Amino acid sequence: MRERPGVGLGLALLSALTFATSGTFARPLITGDWSAEAVVLARVGIAALVLAVPALLALRGRWPVLRRNAGTLVVFGLLGVALAQACFFNAVRYLPVGVALLLEYLGIVLVVGWMWLVHGQRPRLLTVAGSLTALCGLVFVLDLTGAGRLDPVGVLWGLGAGVGLAGYFVIAGRVDPALPSVVMASGGMAVGAVVLLLLGLVGALPLRAGTADVSFAGHEMSWLVPIAGLSLIAAVVAYLTGVAGARLLGARLSSFVGLTEVMFAVLIAWLVLGELPSAVQLLGGALIVAGVALVRVDELRGGRSEPADERADAPALA
């Protein structure tokens, strides 16, 4: 599986690029008639249906594996899908897409703290340095003394997305290797969609959608265009290429490559939406990416070698 690292790298980069489009596709809907929760429901619901067929083929009738991991799929759908994406898309209502994604990626630092406090896995020096670098970057991203201070509501939503992303990484790192990754992705998104739908039906979440045209990339177009982009490009293509890339590169290396999602997201939001963080925030973003990269490098250096056929999920969920 590892004799084609170039193919694996290309797939992992394509996955990061397609995941990075999610905020740009969601922005015209959220600033229009759609609630963030309705956008998430549409994205994960459609993607779960599309991925259901390859998921069933991957299972090949191994239903005991699915039953054994039912609880994991439910928690994964609640934290890694519903919480992470609902918080991220709510953050996009108040913050530039790139800034919201940077706040979400602080979830990797939260994983370090979780593994230390709960499991007693004391971080090594390089991981500590990476975590502190990322936290310093957060100070610059927030730009508390600058003229363009960030909306604190958006910041809280972004940090909530970080908690969801942390849950995603913790769960994905402990998943049963017998459970195919596409089943994990499809099942998690199905659970997330069902939970959001039920909470919306009982009035606990605002599920508001509209059919009015939206402004996207400077043009008026049907709402179906960003919905199709969110569900097919930013979910289906992103997950399938991420799974394929992870199987060729391994989970650790593919998740490291997934850090390019942040840079892709800033570039896409700039080209399509005209959004560009300030110079101070770009510096902070560079520090966050550098800090997360240090954590990943430490994992690559200190982790055990991965088997070639290791199952792994896509590197990100934005």
Residue 228 pLDDT > 90? yes
Please tell me the predicted confidence (pLDDT) of residue 314.
43
Residue 145 pLDDT > 60? no
Residue 227 pLDDT > 60? yes
Q: What pLDDT, in 10s, does the model give residues 70-106?
A: 998 999 899 888 898 899 999 988 888 888 888 888 8
**pLDDT range class, residue 147, cuts 50, 70, 90:** low
Quote the tokens at residue 289.
Answer: 């990416």
Per-chain mean pLDDT for the chain? 82
Please tell me the predicted confidence (pLDDT) of residue 256.
67
Handedness of CA 154, 157, 162, 168 (dihedral sign): negative
Q: What pLDDT, in 10s, does the model give residues 254-307?
A: 666 777 888 888 889 888 888 877 788 888 888 888 887 887 788 767 654 444
Please tell me the predicted confidence (pLDDT) of residue 313.
43
Helix (H, G, I), strand (E, B) or coil at 220: strand
Which one is predicted more confidently, 177 or 316?
177
Q: What pLDDT, in 10s, does the model give residues 172-206?
A: 667 777 888 788 888 989 999 999 999 889 888 88
Residue 43 pLDDT > 90? yes
Please tell me the predicted confidence (pLDDT) of residue 74.
92
Please tell me the predicted confidence (pLDDT) of residue 1.
44
